[in-house]
Amino acid sequence: MAQPTFSTHLGMVDILPDEVGKWQTIERIVREEAKKFNFEEIRTPIMEQTELIARGVGQLTDIVSKEMFAFQRGDDHYVLRPECTAPVARAFVEHHLEQRGGTQNLYYIGPMFRAEKPQKGRQRQFHQFGAEIIGADAPAADVDIIALMMAIYERLGITNTTLKINSVGDPESRKNYTDALTDYFRPHLSQLSDISQKRFENNPLRILDSKEPEDQPFIEDAPVITDYLTEETSAHYEQVKELLTDLNISFEEDPHLVRGLDYYTRTAFELISPDLGAQDALGGGGRYDLLIEEVGGSPTPAVGFAAGIERLLIACEELDIELVEEEMLDVYIVTLGAKARRWALRHLPKLRSAGLSASMDYIGRSIKAQMKDADRENARHTIIVGENELNEGKFTLRNMKKSEEDTYTFDEILNRLAADVPEVHNSVT
C-alpha cells in the first residue's frame, strides 16, 4: 500500500466507520441516563478565550501552563477547550441562565484538547461526557451528580470500579492546610523532585498530585486536609458520605486526592478502573463553588463531573462488553441492466420510507459481484431485477440468511418486509 501523504496529528485519531457504532451506543446511554436525572444538554464552541481557561482552570495547572492548544488571530487569543466546566460556567454567566429558575442541570458530550504526551488512554484530542449542577450547594447535589456518573457505568456493565472521594476544603480550610503542608514539606524540600520544588513555591497542595517516585514517601506521611476542614465544610463532607451510603454507592476516602484543576472546593472525587493501566481514572469531578464568580457571575455554588469516552471504551474492551450488535442491511437490490438500475433507484425511497435500510449497486457490476457485495453488506434480503422481471412486474425476493426465494410484485415485497421492520440493534439496552 502507498504511504499516505497526510496523517492526523500526534495524539489525534480518526473514529472510523467500524468504531462509530460503539460511540453512538455510549452517547445514547449518556443521553438517556441524563434525561432520567432531569439534565438538559448544552453545547458550547470548541474554542474559548484563553483568559477564560487560564482563570477558570488555574494559571499554574499543567493544563494551562503546558498543555494548551492556543493561538492568536488579530487581538483575539483562542484556545481549544481542554475541558468543559469553565466553558459551561461562562455560558451560564453570559446567558443569565439563572433566570430560567431553579438549579441548572446541564450535560455535554464532545471533544476536548490537551497537548499531553500520548499513551494508552491519553490523547491530545479526546472526548468527554460530563454534567454540572449549577446553583445548589447542598450535599444532595454532590450525591446526585455522582449517582448520574455511576448510573452510566452501571448501565454499560462496568461495575468493578472504585469511587474515591475527598474534601479539598473551602478557602479558609485550604489556607490552614496549605500552611500545614508548607511546614511539613519545608525540611524535606531538597529531597523532593524538581517539579514538586516548583509547586512548593506556587501551590504546595499540588505536590500531593505528583507521580515522581522520590516524592512518594513524603506524600504518604503528609498531613491530610480532612484534619484542617472548618466545621461547616466538614459537616458538608460528612453528609455527602452519609447520602452516598443511603444510595448504596460505595466509596473509598482518599485524603490525598487533589485533582489537577484549581477550581475545586469541598467535594472532589474520581472513579478509578483496574482495567485501564497507568491512566486509571475513568472520570472525575467535584464542587467548584467559586468558579462562577471567578468568570464574572454572582456567587453561585456548583458541582459536576466529566468522564473520558476513550477510557470507557478501553474498559468495555477489557471486560468484553459488546456495545454494538452486528449491523445488517435489510434489502439490497440486485440489478441487471441500466433500466433495472433506474427502477431500483426509483424504488429505494419506498423501501426506506417503510423503515427499511436499503441499498443497490450504482455502477453496473455483474450479478455475481452484486451478490457478493450484498453478502459483504450483511443483507437480509436481495430483490433481483432484470428485463424479464420488469416486463412481468414480478421480482425475486431472496432471503439471504435462509437461502430461500420466491417471486412477488413490488407491493407484495414491500408489505412482507415492512411487516417485519427490525428493531434498532444494540446489545446494551
User: Which residues contact ligand HAM (rule: CB under 6 A)?
Assistant: 83-85, 114, 116, 121-123, 126, 128, 130, 132, 260-261, 281-286, 288, 304-308, 310-311
Q: What span, in angstroms and rounded, lies between the C-alpha atoms of 67 and 87? A: 17
Which CB contacts under 8 angstroms, 24+ apart, belong to 413-417? Answer: 413/383, 414/350, 414/351, 414/354, 417/330, 417/331, 417/351, 417/354, 417/356, 417/381
Which H, E and C letters describe 52-67, residue by residue?
Answer: HHHHHHCCCCHHHHHC
Name which of 115, 114, 111, 116 is nearest 128 in CA terms: 111
Closer to ligand HAM by Cβ: residue 70 or 281: 281
**Eight-class DSSP state of 128:** E
Closer to ligand HAM by Cβ: residue 111 or 223: 111
Element (H, E) at 315: helix 309-318
As measured in angstroms, the least distance from the Cβ of 381 to ligand HAM is 42
As measured in angstroms, the least distance from the Cβ of 88 to ligand HAM is 8
Burial of 213 (0-12, 13-18, 19+ CB in 10 A): exposed
Which runs of E-coded beta strand occur in 199-320? Answer: 252-253, 267-272, 281-287, 302-308
Name the residue type at position 160.
N
Query: Per the structure block, which three cell numbers stand in for 317?
Result: 474492551
As measured in angstroms, the least distance from the Cβ of 134 to ligand HAM is 10
Closer to ligand HAM by Cβ: residue 106 or 334: 106
How many CB atoms are closer than 10 A to CB 171?
12
Name which of 211, 219, 222 is nearest 177 in CA terms: 222
As measured in angstroms, the least distance from the Cβ of 226 to ligand HAM is 20
Closer to ligand HAM by Cβ: residue 174 or 347: 174
As measured in angstroms, the least distance from the Cβ of 101 to ligand HAM is 22
Compute and round to an integer the Cα radius of gyration of the chain. 28
Name which of 282, 285, 269 is nearest 315 in CA terms: 282
As measured in angstroms, the least distance from the Cβ of 319 to ligand HAM is 16
Closer to ligand HAM by Cβ: residue 58 or 286: 286
As measured in angstroms, the least distance from the Cβ of 357 to ligand HAM is 33
CB 210, CB 193: distance < 8 Å: yes
Closer to ligand HAM by Cβ: residue 283 or 301: 283
As measured in angstroms, the least distance from the Cβ of 198 to ligand HAM is 20
Closer to ligand HAM by Cβ: residue 141 or 222: 141
Closer to ligand HAM by Cβ: residue 114 or 381: 114
